[in-house]
């Protein structure tokens, strides 16, 4: 890929000359959509990003929020989509490595990972191959570095044929007094590079991530995919945190997109920087300045260190058997200068490089409409329910998360497969983590679907008793030069922001991944604004399990159901239309009251109602014991069982706690109703004249379809 002609004209006018080969490569990568957010920046600036607990918001390697006077939480989210199609194992593994380094660059210790994975139909052998190797890459890398993968989402849709999505969230813990940011603080400081030696892998990865995948991508783009080494990453984690703890690291940045050029230029943009490439440790001979600058070799960090303390930092790197070198310095002149063998090979006004990329203003299009038809007319209610329960989007994902070590670091209180994960942060308090998206909702209605994504993740936290406090996003869309795609992005950002304002929680960071289209399959992905959300629990001892426990417990339904099928699993299976769930402002009260009630310790089981509707929620709760539910006198059976209206949950309480729990919801006008009783060996649901009855064995067999499929 070469520098665009329009960009070269802007650069040449600013420099007073044409950029040379090295400068062109630097601009090509730093002015890519992946680094400069040229299409999305105006939209991102409309998001609510502030609150009393936000210490560092969007713009740094990771966001930092306050947990207490002595404890901070770092959170970051990134995509590694194109690399994971070209080389699924290494692409996914290095996606994990990169997001972990984003967290440690803030001086925080990584304690958890979440992954949001989206693939084409598993009936396609290529998609099965991608799925298997992406999961293996995430598991192997996370397991080796000792960071548990505790939560995530896997969703299948034909639009991801030829362009799977691999989004990863990392969470870290730190202290306010060891917080490090990515901008240099003082001219005269030295720039120190530590970690792996630099090679030719990952050349031009940022520009590669900013274009569509072609039919020849697997062969021609393989050099753009980085190769990871988790054992070096583990050493780098420990070395970086030890270096930060000395107080001698003024700034720190991961070498991710655009490699050394991106990390050092963005780091030095507050003043200026001079880089000497002769000092960079190399693992291949004959590397050119262009290659050294844009290589995205993994497991590397740059640190700003005062001259008098450089030797202490180099000694720490040596202790961990890492390469290290002083490769430059911060200068008090707004230039970015690169030298090689005594010659200046790049000399660029630093603000032009880091902030000067012209923004794109794509055309907008009207929202698309969808035809409604139905393939479900001649099926029984039981047949419909089993089709939903056995869908790979609803079925349990044990095959995935059992490949991950979610016990390492011994913080995991609630493990994968139970909605939100929960980690302890001290003897009493904890954090809850949820991630995912409703892509099929968003495809039908970008504004309402994106808002619903926020609500669903917030409800995942609330049923654990956690108050949602912040979230990050990864905006995965097709080619923004297409008017329809850009309009999808614009409406989805508005929907995320609207929901964040309703819930009064900030969007503290994220990533934009555009050009997710495949020439091979002639497809563009459906819009997929996935998010990672964190909540705070005051008492982890009150967390209810996600499955029914005791015979005789009362089953309660919280929230109100509407005929909202658009984009639901039921609608996708049977090809029907309809409205997607609406973003009602009353959900804020529902969440607040739900957190309060769970905190009393009176809830014996709890699960939100999301993908697959009520039938999926009840089916998953019937792991050990069944339930008898009666919904007569309300809506029709399809609406009651398959609608995916937001802001609903299933709770169970003992008979003696029913009145006191109901009273709390009723006092705040939150709809609640006792709809049944736990017990028996089947799930029985009555809706007026219709009855659905499924044995526990039938439910288990249906929900286990994905696991069985991947094991055969």
570: helix, coil or strand?
Answer: helix
**Tokens standing for 142?**
């996370």
| DSSP code string of 494-538 | HHHHHHHHHHT--EEEEEEE---EETTTTEEPPPEEEEEEEEEES
CA separation for the pair 288, 384 (Å, rounded): 61
CB contact at 8 A, 521 and 130: no
Phi/psi at 583 (nearest 5 deg)? -85, 85
- What torsion, rounded to 10 degrees, do the Cα atoms 409, 412, 413, 416 define? -160
Alpha-carbon span 563 to 54, nearest angstrom: 38
From the list 179, 200, 297, the residue with the least C-alpha distance to 249 is 179
Alpha carbons 323 and 300: distance in angstroms, whole number: 9
- Which among 301, 316, 187, 188 has a CA at the least distance from the CA of 252? 301
Give the angle subtended at the CA of 131 by the CAs of 33 and 84, to the nearest 5°: 25
Distance in angstroms (rounded) separating the CA atoms of residues 276 and 289: 10
Which tokens hold the place of 394? Answer: 């609803």
**Active-site residue identified among 80, 82, 133, 441:** 80
598 — phi, psi (to 5°)? -60, -35
Residues 6+ apart with CB under 8 A from 377: none
**C-beta separation of 526 from 158 below 8 A:** no
The phi-psi region of residue 172 (left if phi > 0; otherwise alpha if psi is between -120 and 50; otherwise beta) is: beta
- Residue 133 bears catalytic tag: no
Residue indicated by tokens 């008090």: 332
Query: Which residues, listed in sequence order, are joined to residue 254 by a DSSP beta bridge?
Result: 301
The burial class, CB within 10 Å (0-12 / 13-18 / 19+), for 529 is: buried
SS (H, E, C) 538-564: CCHHHCCCCCCCCCCCEEEEECCCCCC
- How far is the C-alpha of 553 from the C-alpha of 541, rounded, in Å? 20
**Cβ contact 503:538 at 8 Å:** no
Rounded CA-CA distance 585/583 in Å is 6
Q: Which of 242, 251, 300 is nearest to 273 (CA)?
A: 251
The closest of 460, 500, 452, 458 to 643, measured between CA atoms, is 452
Asked about 80 being catalytic, the answer comes back as yes
Query: Strands 300-305 and 251-254, how do they pair?
Result: antiparallel
Quote the tokens at residue 246. Answer: 């000395």
| Tokens (6 digits) for 74 | 């770092």
DSSP letters spanning 346-372:
EEEEHHHHHH-PPPP-----PPP----
- Tell me which residues are annotated as active site: 34, 80
């Amino acid at each position: 890929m070469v520098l665009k002609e329009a960009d070269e004209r802007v650069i040449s006018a600013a420099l007073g000359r044409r950029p040379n080969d090295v400068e062109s490569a630097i601009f090509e990568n730093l002015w890519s959509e992946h680094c400069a957010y040229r299409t999305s920046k105006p939209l991102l600036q409309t998001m609510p990003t502030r609150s009393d607990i936000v210490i560092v918001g969007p713009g740094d390697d990771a966001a930092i929020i306050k947990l207490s006077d002595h404890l901070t939480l770092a959170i970051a989210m990134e995509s590694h989509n194109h690399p994971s199609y070209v080389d699924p194992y290494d692409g996914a593994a290095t996606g994990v490595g990169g997001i972990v380094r984003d967290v440690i660059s803030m001086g925080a210790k990584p304690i958890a990972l979440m992954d949001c994975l989206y693939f084409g139909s598993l009936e396609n052998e290529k998609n099965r191959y991608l799925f298997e190797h992406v999961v293996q890459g995430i598991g192997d890398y996370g397991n080796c570095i000792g960071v548990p993968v505790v939560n995530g989402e896997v969703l299948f849709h034909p639009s991801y044929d030829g362009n799977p999505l691999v989004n990863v969230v990392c969470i870290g813990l730190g202290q306010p007094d060891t917080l490090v940011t990515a901008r240099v603080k003082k001219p005269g400081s030295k720039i120190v590079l530590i970690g792996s030696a630099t090679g030719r892998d990952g050349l031009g990865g940022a520009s590669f991530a900013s274009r569509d995948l072609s039919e020849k991508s697997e062969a021609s783009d393989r050099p753009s995919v980085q190769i990871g080494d988790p054992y070096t990453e583990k050493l780098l984690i420990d070395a970086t945190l030890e270096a930060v703890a000395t107080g001698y690291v003024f700034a720190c940045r991961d070498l991710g997109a655009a490699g050394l050029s991106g990390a050092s230029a963005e780091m030095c943009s507050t003043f200026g920087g001079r880089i000497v490439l002769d000092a960079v440790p190399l693992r291949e001979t004959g590397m050119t300045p262009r290659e050294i600058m844009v290589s995205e070799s993994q497991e590397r960090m740059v640190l700003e260190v005062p001259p008098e303390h450089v030797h202490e930092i180099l000694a720490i790197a040596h202790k961990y058997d890492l390469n290290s070198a002083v490769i430059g310095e911060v200068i008090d002149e707004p230039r970015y200068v690169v030298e090689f063998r005594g010659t200046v090979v790049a000399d660029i006004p630093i603000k032009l490089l880091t902030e000067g990329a012209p923004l794109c203003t794509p055309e907008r299009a009207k929202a698309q409409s969808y035809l409604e038809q139905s393939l479900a007319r001649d099926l029984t209610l039981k047949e419909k329910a089993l089709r939903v329960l056995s869908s790979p989007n609803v079925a349990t994902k044990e095959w995935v998360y059992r490949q991950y070590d979610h016990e390492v670091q011994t913080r995991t209180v609630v493990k994968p497969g139970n909605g939100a994960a929960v980690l302890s942060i001290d003897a009493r308090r904890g954090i809850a983590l949820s991630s995912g998206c409703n892509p099929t909702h968003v495809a039908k209605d970008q504004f309402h679907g994106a808002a619903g994504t926020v609500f669903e993740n917030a409800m995942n936290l609330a049923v654990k008793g956690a108050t949602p406090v912040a979230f990050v996003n990864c905006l995965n869309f097709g080619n923004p030069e297409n008017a329809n795609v850009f309009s999808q992005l614009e409406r989805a950002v508005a929907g995320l922001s609207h929901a964040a304002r309703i819930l009064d929680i900030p969007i503290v960071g994220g990533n934009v991944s555009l050009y997710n289209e495949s020439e091979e399959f002639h497809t563009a992905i459906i819009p997929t604004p996935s998010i990672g959300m964190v909540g705070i629990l005051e008492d982890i001892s009150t967390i209810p399990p996600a499955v029914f426990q005791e015979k005789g417990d009362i089953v309660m339904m919280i929230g109100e159901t509407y005929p909202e099928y658009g984009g639901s699993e039921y609608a996708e299976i049977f090809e029907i239309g309809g409205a997607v769930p609406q973003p009602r402002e009353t959900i804020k009260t529902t969440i607040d009251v739900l957190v309060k009630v769970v905190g009393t310790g009176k809830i014996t089981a709890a699960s939100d109602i999301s993908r697959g509707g009520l039938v999926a929620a009840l089916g998953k709760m019937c792991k050990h014991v069944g339930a008898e539910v009666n919904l007569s006198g309300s809506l029709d059976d399809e609406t009651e069982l398959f609608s995916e209206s937001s802001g609903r949950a299933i709770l169970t309480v003992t008979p003696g706690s029913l009145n006191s729990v109901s009273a709390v919801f009723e006092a705040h006008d939150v709809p609640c109703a006792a709809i049944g009783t736990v017990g028996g060996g089947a799930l029985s649901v009555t809706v007026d004249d219709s009855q659905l009855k499924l044995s526990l064995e039938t439910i288990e067999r249906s929900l286990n379809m994905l696991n069985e499929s991947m094991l055969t």
